[in-house]
């Protein structure tokens, strides 16, 4: 068991997060134009705030639009993508209205991204040590920087700086990118897209501890994307649950785990191996697939929801609540 195993909601807002909103996303939509296939609406109507020092988790199954949100915020989507929003405010600026040059000034310095696929973010033909110098300069030789890198298990990388990235494991490269993103320019917002998915439990715990440490010392805000509810429970203050490109529930970590509202959130929790005990019998699984979830009408979860009726397939549920805590579900609305 890792030394960082916390109870869900231990990392509560108010304990670390301030009231200052660092990032305010309003009505974000991402569409990919049709290539040979049909156009895809990957994200729609997504609104959330992230406060200073807060870790905001984004959870949802594969294809639900998590990476599209991160890449849209960084303005790093392919040309085929169209991004629309009422606003994406960061530090008093609307990120979507900035020029490319202004955005380059923010990317990597004020907002950092740890991308989902580490291999595509490092040059394959340049030794790792040289790439580290691009980011850290000569401070890579400082004992503080080396200590920080060693603390997240990068001793072996530091001992082989003349090797190319291909000579390291995916987990080592992923940790290297986290170190570069957080330790070099000290950004105020980190977008971490599945940053520990390729790591074993021990190293994952070291990395999560490093991130929480940086959050505490710098007041760093983190958008933490994961499909792993166990990790989300350990690190996040609040969580947004994505389904079919929509946020269907936003809640504090404690509320999400102890009082889930949306049927999809409940299904996700029911399918969590860590919550399974032999007495419970078979681990529950979610019937059907998410195919077609990004259709325009109705609740995206309706085709798989045991509680759905005609209204759910025809009418998109309204947001119940606000940006801090909300759910989109006709059944929950009718019950309140």
Ligand X SMILES: Nc1ncnc2c1ncn2[C@@H]1O[C@H](COP(=O)(O)OP(=O)(O)OP(=O)(O)O)[C@@H](O)[C@H]1O
Where along the sequence are the contacts to ligand X (CB under 6 A)? 32, 40, 42, 60, 62-68, 78, 80, 116, 227
Instruction: Decide which of ligand X, Mg ion, none touches 324; Cβ closer than 5 to 8 Å per partner kind.
Output: none
Nearer CB in complex with ligand X: 68/131: 68
Task: Answer yes or no: are the C-beta atoms of 95 and 189 closer than 8 Å.
Answer: no
* Shortest distance, position 63 Cβ to ligand X, whole Å: 4
Helix axes 170-183, 143-151, angle to 10 degrees: 140
Interface segment toward Mg ion; rule CB under 5 A; list 46-54, 110-118, 120-128, 150-158: 110-118
Residues 6+ apart with CB under 8 A from 48: 25, 56, 240, 247, 250, 323
Nearer CB in complex with ligand X: 71/252: 71
Q: Is position 196 an interface residue for Mg ion (rule: CB under 5 A)?
A: no
Interface segment toward Mg ion; rule CB under 5 A; list 20-28, 31-39, 115-123, 155-163: 115-123
Nearer CB in complex with ligand X: 39/201: 39
Instruction: Decide which of Mg ion, ligand X, none touches 40; Cβ closer than 5 to 8 Å per partner kind.
Output: ligand X
Instruction: Decide which of ligand X, Mg ion, none touches 192; Cβ closer than 5 to 8 Å per partner kind.
Output: none
* Shortest distance, position 235 Cβ to Mg ion, whole Å: 17
Nearer CB in complex with Mg ion: 67/265: 67
CA distance 44 to 61: 16
Instruction: Decide which of Mg ion, ligand X, none touches 68; Cβ closer than 5 to 8 Å per partner kind.
Output: ligand X
CA distance 268 to 327: 15
Characterize the bridge pairing of strands 221-226 and 189-193. Answer: parallel
Instruction: Decide which of ligand X, Mg ion, none touches 323; Cβ closer than 5 to 8 Å per partner kind.
Output: none
Helix (H) or strand (E) holding 73: helix 66-73
Nearer CB in complex with ligand X: 49/193: 193
Q: What are phi and psi of 294, to 5 degrees?
A: -90, 20
Site for Mg ion in 116-135 (CB under 5 A): 116
* Shortest distance, position 37 Cβ to ligand X, whole Å: 8
Instruction: Decide which of Mg ion, ligand X, none touches 42; Cβ closer than 5 to 8 Å per partner kind.
Output: ligand X
Helix axes 128-136, 170-183, angle to 10 degrees: 20
Binding-site string for Mg ion from residue 62 to residue 91, where x marks contact by CB under 5 A and - marks none? ----xx------------------------
* Shortest distance, position 193 Cβ to Mg ion, whole Å: 6
Beta carbons within 10 angstroms of residue 315's beta carbon: 13
Task: Answer yes or no: are the C-beta atoms of 178 and 192 closer than 8 Å.
Answer: yes
Tell me the C-alpha to C-alpha distance, in Å, between residue 232 and each of 70, 100, 138, 188, 218. Answer: 17, 33, 35, 20, 21
Nearer CB in complex with ligand X: 29/40: 40
Nearer CB in complex with ligand X: 68/182: 68
Nearer CB in complex with ligand X: 43/183: 43
Characterize the bridge pairing of strands 111-114 and 189-193. Answer: parallel
> For residue 63, which of 238, 316, 294 has the smallest C-alpha distance?
294
| Nearest-10 Cα torsion for 86, 89, 92, 98 | -80
Contact set with Mg ion (CB under 5 A): 66-67, 116
């Amino acid at each position: 068991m890792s030394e960082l195993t916390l109870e869900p909601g231990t990392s509560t807002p108010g304990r670390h997060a301030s009231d200052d909103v660092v990032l305010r996303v309003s009505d974000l939509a991402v569409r990919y134009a049709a290539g040979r296939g049909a156009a895809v609406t990957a994200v729609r109507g997504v609104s959330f705030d992230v406060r200073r020092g807060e870790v905001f988790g984004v959870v949802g199954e594969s294809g639900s639009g998590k990476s599209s949100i991160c890449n849209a915020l960084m303005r790093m989507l392919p040309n085929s993508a169209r991004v629309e929003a009422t606003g994406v405010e960061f530090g008093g600026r609307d990120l979507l209205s900035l020029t490319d040059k202004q955005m380059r000034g923010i990317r990597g310095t004020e907002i950092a991204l740890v991308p989902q696929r580490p291999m595509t973010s490092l040059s394959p033909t340049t030794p790792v040590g040289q790439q580290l110098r691009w980011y850290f300069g000569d401070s890579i030789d400082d004992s503080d920087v080396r200590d920080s890198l060693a603390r997240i298990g990068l001793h072996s990388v530091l001992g082989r700086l003349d090797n190319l990235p291909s000579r390291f494991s995916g987990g080592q490269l992923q940790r290297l990118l986290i170190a570069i993103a957080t330790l070099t320019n000290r950004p105020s917002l980190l977008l971490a897209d599945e940053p520990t998915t390729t790591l074993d439990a021990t190293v994952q715990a070291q990395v999560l501890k490093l991130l929480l440490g940086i959050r505490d010392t710098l007041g760093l805000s983190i958008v933490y994307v994961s499909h792993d509810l166990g990790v989300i429970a350990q690190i996040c203050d609040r969580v947004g649950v994505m389904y079919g490109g929509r946020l269907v529930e936003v809640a504090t970590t404690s509320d999400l785990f102890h009082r889930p509202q949306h049927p999809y959130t409940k299904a996700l929790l029911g399918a969590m191996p860590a919550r399974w005990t032999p007495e419970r019998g078979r681990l529950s699984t979610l019937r059907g697939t998410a195919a077609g979830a990004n259709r325009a009408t109705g609740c995206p979860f309706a085709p798989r929801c045991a509680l759905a009726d005609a209204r759910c397939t025809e009418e998109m549920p309204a947001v119940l609540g606000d940006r801090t805590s909300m759910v989109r579900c006709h059944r929950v609305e009718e019950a309140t």
